[in-house]
Chain A
Amino acid sequence: GAGVSQSPSNKVTEKGKDVELRCDPISGHTALYWYRQSLGQGLEFLIYFQGNSAPDKSGLPSDRFSAERTGGSVSTLTIQRTQQEDSAVYLCASSLARQGVGYTFGSGTRLTVV
């Protein structure tokens, strides 16, 4: 597609439920990133996929968070047993392998855990 697409745009879930967030990157972009945007916290790096390399999971805050990228394209971020502190906007971005041109961000998924 023309841009990075994320779904759903909004998600309200009950504490303890699992959620899946989807990201469809720009065609041809081999790198895909997930960030979390919380009020006053800026953008927190979560995970990075680059081609067929092992992902950089160093930013995942706990083992309740996981992500996969199938076929080098679409990615799914899964949060198990959601907690209220997971409430945030989850942003996906993609880029070409070499970073000099920066990222293209999706519009994000606003997750609210009640």
Chain B
Amino acid sequence: AQRVTQPEKLLSVFKGAPVELKCNYSYSGSPELFWYVQYSRQRLQLLLRHISRESIKGFTADLNKGETSFHLKKPFAQEEDSAMYYCALLFSGGYNKLIFGAGTRLAVHP
């Protein structure tokens, strides 16, 4: 069955420290993966998608099919990165819909 796992509910780091938010997926097809972010009192919004191989706000994520992972990384965390981060898998079995993980709250301390 298709599933997205984010093992950490909370990740707490100091400003300037590296950050890695973990995401693992289970999907028999060719995966299409996304990271969404929700800042305090704001809407959930797309951060990045693996097919674009982009870096947004200093964040990158590499799809590792061997490890079925799509971890989100940033070399130097900033306080404004504090937010809720959701990893999502596009499930295209007949219907196209995103399956989300439970989310990881990133707290960056000064």
Interface, chain A (partner B; CB < 8 A): 31, 33, 35, 40-45, 48, 50, 56, 91, 93, 98-100, 102-103, 105-108
Q: Which residues of A contact B92 (CB under 8 A)?
A: 99
6 contacts between A and B (CB under 8 A): A40-B102, A42-B100, A42-B103, A44-B100, A99-B92, A102-B46
- The chain A residue sitting closest to B104, CB to CB, is A42
Q: Is the CB of B96 within 8 A of A105?
A: no
Q: Is the CB of A48 within 8 A of B49?
A: no
Q: Is the CB of A56 within 8 A of B95?
A: yes
Q: Which of A33, A41, A102 contacts B102 (CB 8 A)?
A: A41
Q: Is B98 an interface residue (CB 8 A)?
A: yes
Q: Which residues of A contact B97 (CB under 8 A)?
A: 33, 45, 48, 56
Q: Flag B38-75 by CB within 8 Å of A: 1 or 0 each.
A: 00000111100101000000000000000000000000
Provide the bound-state CA to CA distance between A104 and B97, in Å: 13
Q: Is B90 an interface residue (CB 8 A)?
A: yes
Extra contacts besides A99-B32, A99-B92 (20): CB < 8 Å: A33-B97, A33-B98, A42-B102, A43-B44, A43-B86, A43-B100, A43-B103, A45-B97, A45-B99, A48-B97, A50-B95, A56-B94, A93-B44, A98-B96, A99-B98, A102-B34, A102-B49, A102-B98, A103-B98, A108-B43
Q: Is B109 an interface residue (CB 8 A)?
A: no
Q: Which residues of A contact B32 (CB under 8 A)?
A: 99-100
Q: Is the CB of A107 within 8 A of B43?
A: yes
Count of A-B contacts with CB under 8 A?
A: 54
Q: Which residues of B contact A31 (CB under 8 A)?
A: 96
Q: Is the CB of B9 within 8 A of A40?
A: yes
Interface residues of B in 1-39 (CB under 8 A from A): 6, 9, 32, 34, 36
Provide the bound-state CA to CA distance between A42 and B46, in Å: 15
Q: Is the CB of B43 within 8 A of A99?
A: no
Q: Is the CB of A100 within 8 A of B51?
A: yes
Provide the bound-state CA to CA distance between A93 and B97, in Å: 11
With a 10 A CB-CB cut-off, give which of A40, A43, A91, A107 has the most chain B CB atoms.
A43
Q: Report the minimal beta-carbon distance from A20 to chain B, rounded to whole angstroms.
A: 21
